Amino acid sequence: MVLILLVPVAIAGWLSFTDYSLGNDSFNWIGSANYEKLFTRASYEKMFIATLTYVVTVVPLSVALGLGAAILIHSLGRFGALYKTIYFLPVMATLLAMSIAWEFMLHPTIGMLNRTLELGCGTFLERVWPFLANGCADRFPVWLGDKRYAIWVICFIGVWQGFGFNMVLYLAGLTSVHRELYHAAEMDGARSAWDRFRLVTWPALGPTTVFVVTITCIRAFQVFDTVEAFWPQGGGPNKSTYVMMFAIFEKGVQQNLIGIGSAITMLFLTFVMFLTLIQRWLVERKVHY
């Protein structure tokens, strides 16, 4: 733990106060200059906005959908294993296969999404959602090339890829909820499905929810592969998907700016640690182990 985790973090924290680059024989101690850049330049402001947008969108949606899918599959008598496999497949999807599939689906002219909108929903969308007419062929969006949609495409893919993992965790938690609790709640007047969920299922899943929310929050902050696959240079249109992990890769690897890359890394670790501790404290206040 010390050699693999703590020592590298300490070295990154030290380098964040320098202008070091790989290959240089020396470096200059510049103090907090790298951190001042992070809070004063517009490109890094976009980095914070894109990262927080992704986290705030993906975490609650993937947790809620994972819980809903787990409850529905748990209640099935047949085909439960089939649905488990279908929903868990995106978790096992490789980066290359997933990015190629989504690039084809979101292509502005031959993509399945825009073709479906054109064939079946075009007239409705033009009436109800007129601004979509500014996209491809003066009608539909260029999903990966428009800064208004790029971050939401990444969020959608993040939810699609992550909620199956949460579903499996919640399914494991549901197996520990004793059936006698439901019978006792029904005898006390909890006869509707909502009452049973509110009074029995949700409190019993408290420890599982703490773990799921923590893991999902950390995974959301670590988003990188989808952004790098779609936009290997620049982090999306007008840096609309310029998340923190991509910024670390761009500065530290592509541009060999180890100092500023280390500063972003330390800020990234601070955000993850702070939000993880806060959400664990808030959630565990109402958790009964």
Largest CA distance in the chain: 76
Burial of 212 (0-12, 13-18, 19+ CB in 10 A): buried
Percentage of the chain modeled with pLDDT above 90:
27
User: Tens digit of pLDDT for each residue in 83-124?
Assistant: 888 888 888 877 778 888 888 888 877 778 877 777 765 555
Q: What is the CA radius of gyration of the chain?
A: 23
In order of 15, 92, 149, 243, 248, the CA distances from 43 in angstroms are 21, 33, 18, 11, 13
Q: How confident is the model at residue 42 (pLDDT cuts 50, 70, 90)?
A: confident
User: Tens digit of pLDDT for each residue in 54-70?
Assistant: 999 999 999 999 999 99
**For residues 155-176, average pLDDT:** 90
pLDDT score of 183 more than 60: yes
Task: Give the per-residue pLDDT at 199.
Answer: 83
**34-43, 193-202, 265-274: least confidently modelled range:** 193-202
Task: Give the per-residue pLDDT at 137.
Answer: 45
**For residues 37-49, average pLDDT:** 89
Distance CA 141, CA 149 (A): 8
């502005």: which residue's tokens? Answer: 108
Q: What is the DSSP letter of 136?
A: B
Q: How confident is the model at residue 192 (pLDDT cuts 50, 70, 90)?
A: confident
pTM reported for the whole predicted model: 0.84
Count CB neighbours of 30 within 10 A. Answer: 14
Task: Give the per-residue pLDDT at 135.
Answer: 46
Domains of the chain: 42-106+143-284 (1.10.3720.10), 111-142 (no CATH)
71, 65 contact by CB (below 8 A): no
Distance CA 153, CA 53 (A): 12
Task: Give the per-residue pLDDT at 122.
Answer: 52
pLDDT score of 131 more than 60: no
Q: How confident is the model at residue 276 (pLDDT cuts 50, 70, 90)?
A: confident
**17-26, 46-55, 182-191, 202-211: least confidently modelled range:** 182-191
pLDDT score of 236 more than 70: yes
**114-128, 150-164, 238-252: least confidently modelled range:** 114-128
pLDDT score of 132 more than 60: no
Amino acid at 160: W
Percentage of the chain modeled with pLDDT above 70:
90
